Amino acid sequence: MRTQIAIIGAGPSGLLLGQLLHGQGIDTVILENRSADYVLGRIRAGVIEQGMVGLLEEAGVAARLHGEGLVHGGTEITFDDTRHRIDFKKLTGKTVTVYGQTEITRDLMEARAASGAPTIYEAQDVTPLDFDGEKPRVRYRKDGKDHELACDFIAGCDGFHGVSRQSVPAGSIELFERVYPFGWLGILSDTPPVSDELIYINHERGFALCSMRSHTRSRYYLQCSLAEHVEDWSDSRFWDELKLRLDKEGRERLVTGASIEKSIAPLRSFVAEPMRFGRLFLAGDAAHIVPPTGAKGLNLAASDVHYLSRALVEFYREKSSAGIDHYSGRALARIWKAERFSWWMTTMLHRFPESSGFDRRLQHAELDYLVSSSAAAVAMAENYVGLPY
Ligand code: FAD
Ligand code: DHB
């Protein structure tokens, strides 16, 4: 079998890249090691920048997002039991859209199926080969048979634990990492959200976030210790802890109910440099991770795909390798800004186990500055709604 671009991974990065390239007449085959249902069962991000909305429009998959997504013109930040609003629309002219990653993935999967472009689910032992030469290939096994896919380029869109980054010789890649000493316990419930906008909460018992998926479905997160087990968190224990971290109005308005998903995610900052190795490119979580506090993970995956799709179109249309030569540098410049913002939001809002009285006073001063200085609020808003591509 042969294709122009072999894409490893059918998460948002791989599916969006496939759809954008298909729109430009470039052939792709996607190899995914899980089933489509498993990929759709993962509950993850929920906040979409305008830049990503534009890419989804370009890919022809934004109709449901425009119908069902919730446009938010600001967010709330709570500390000292007091809520403050950061008005994105007034400060930057931009908004964000609340629409689940699961729904984006579903829309992309349906569009790909309709286009007839192949996705091979449950492909085992996917292995990128010979990407340092002119004729890269990807080997995989399906239903007990070995297969080989010849291609012009390989796009490694296979997430943090994927095979693409791990196939690069150790001497050719540099890794940068920070692991945080806590995780997020998240639940999804069919209850109306506690507020019209998201609430980021700094509290002495730990960070909390009130988010949503629709007017009838809520997503809440609590900072928790990494030693916690999800089985030890009954729904009532979760709601009791959330009430302790909410302000008075939030406590009174919170509607509780049965959870439909509950999971714990660790927090990490991670960047791999560079993002191109001959004819292999990394995109999305395969190349970088941010802690979720700034809602940047999915949006960064989309900006990588933006740069990569344009570079590949330029290669085929104009016979120019300028775009692919600049891909890594362009993507990394944006990635490091999002890494900085996500680290800053995480540091400002969480309770660090080792923090001293001095650290806590500084954290309070940072929050106080954010809500009392328009320059500080603009800087936060500009990063949250997304820097230009
Ligand atoms: P992924 O979504 O990880 O997709 C990679 C795909 O590759 C997967 O389908 C995987 O099965 C497949 N794959 C892996 N290995 C192989 C292989 N060897 N062969 C073939 N296929 C393979 N971001 C936010 O902004 N807000 C959040 O609240 C948030 N919560 C998150 C919670 C969790 C638990 C995780 C893990 C991430 C979260 N993120 C969040 C980050 C966001 O979901 C990711 O940035 C986004 O999914 C990146 O998309 P991706 O396509 O690059 O990677
Ligand atoms: C969601 C997750 C985030 O990490 C965030 O910053 C905002 C919203 C969410 O899952 O809804």
54-58: average pLDDT: 98
CA-based end-to-end distance of the chain:
35
**Protein residue closest via CA to atom 31 of ligand 1:** 44
Best residue among 285, 303, 308, 335 to mutate for probing ligand 1's pocket (most ligand atoms within 8 Å of CB) is: 285
pLDDT tens per residue across span 157-192: 999 999 999 999 999 999 999 999 999 999 999 999
For the chain, give the percent of residues with pLDDT over 70: 100
Expressed in angstroms and rounded, the spacing between residue 292 Cα and the centre of ligand 2 is 7
Best residue among 101, 280, 282 to mutate for probing ligand 1's pocket (most ligand atoms within 8 Å of CB) is: 101
pLDDT confidence band for 336 (50 / 70 / 90): very high
SS3 65: helix
**Protein residue closest via CA to atom 34 of ligand 1:** 265
Burial of 82 per CB tally in 10 Å (0-12, 13-18, 19+): exposed
pLDDT tens per residue across span 253-306: 999 999 999 999 999 999 999 999 999 999 999 999 999 999 999 999 999 999
- Cβ within 8 Å of residue 321, ≥6 positions away: 315
Does the C-beta of 338 come closer than 6 Å to ligand 1?
Answer: no
Nearest CA-CA partner of 167 in 129, 139, 195: 129
Alpha-carbon gap, residue 184 to 207, rounded angstroms: 9
Alpha-carbon gap, residue 220 to 150, rounded angstroms: 44
Alpha carbon of 284 to those of 160, 166, 224, 271, 379: distances in Å?
8, 15, 26, 10, 24
pLDDT tens per residue across span 78-102: 999 999 999 999 999 999 999 999 9
324-343: average pLDDT: 98
pLDDT at residue 163, rounded to an integer: 98
Q: How far is CA 30 from the centre of its chain?
A: 20
360-376: average pLDDT: 98
Nearest atom of ligand 2 to the alpha carbon of 297:
4
Peptide bond preceding 169 in cis form (omega within 30 of 0): no
pLDDT confidence band for 2 (50 / 70 / 90): very high
